[in-house]
Amino acid sequence: MSEQINEVELPPGALELENADYEKFCLEYIKTNSVAEAGRIVGWAKRQNSHKIYLRPEVQERIKYLKSEMLAELGLDTFYVLKNLKSVAERCMQAEEVLDREGNPVFIQGPDGDYVPQYKFDQAGANKSLELIGKHVGMFNDKVKHEHTGADGKPISMSLEVVFTNEPNQGTD
């Protein structure tokens, strides 16, 4: 009876890199998220060397694989991050009653002269959470696209006439 061994294809970047320094660079990059810092830890003096190594396709594949493994182990994905950003934004936007040292509500005088409980909310936390959500879903575009069109949205028709003369340059009167 002959045994058949099935070849298993590993995802790109799953195998350690043959160059030990490149492998160490990838592992340090995952820890620091800094090309320069990872290169410094490996022992490369010039930041440019670190960047050249970082751009190598096999290094990029290895980093991508290591990141995906780390995120999977932590149970993090886009859904988790967005769900929690939404939760933070909603929590930050809730009006929270201001309490004194004894836990009693603090009252302020309203515009109509009545005393009402004072409330606060975390505006900075709400704004940052909403900004990150908006960036992820593509609501904000930092680059402005300028397009110019002619009549009916058609391209602008332009012509340029260049005239060369052999006459000497004549001065103006």
Q: What is the pLDDT of residues 104-155, one digit of tens each?
A: 999 988 888 898 888 888 889 889 998 998 888 878 776 666 677 777 777 7
At residue 147, what are phi and psi to the nearest 5 degrees? -130, 140
Longest dimension (CA), the chain: 107
Predicted local distance difference test score (pLDDT) of residue 169: 63
What is the CA 3 to chain-centroid distance, rounded?
Answer: 49
Q: Are residues 66 and 26 in the same domain?
A: yes
User: Model confidence at 4, in pLDDT bands (50, 70, 90)?
Assistant: low
List the one residue out of 86, 85, 89, 105 whose CA is nearest residue 97: 105
Task: Tell whether 38 is covered by a domain.
Answer: yes
User: Does the pLDDT of residue 1 top 80, yes or no?
Assistant: no
Contact present, 129 and 86 (Cβ < 8 Å):
yes
The answer to whether the predicted template modeling score (pTM) of the entire model surpasses 0.75 is: no
Residue 160 binned pLDDT confidence (cut-offs 50, 70, 90): confident
What's the CA gap between 15 and 65, in Å, rounded? 9
pLDDT for position 22: 95
Instruction: Pick the last residue of a domain from 50, 75, 100.
Output: 75
* Res 142: pLDDT: 67
Q: Specify the number of domains making up the chain.
A: 2
- The residue segments making up the domain with residue 105 are 80-136
Q: What is the mean pLDDT of the chain?
A: 85
Residue 15 forms part of a structural domain? no
Position 96 pLDDT exceeds 60:
yes
Among 48, 13, 66, which residue's Cα sits nearest to residue 39? 48
Within a domain: 117: yes
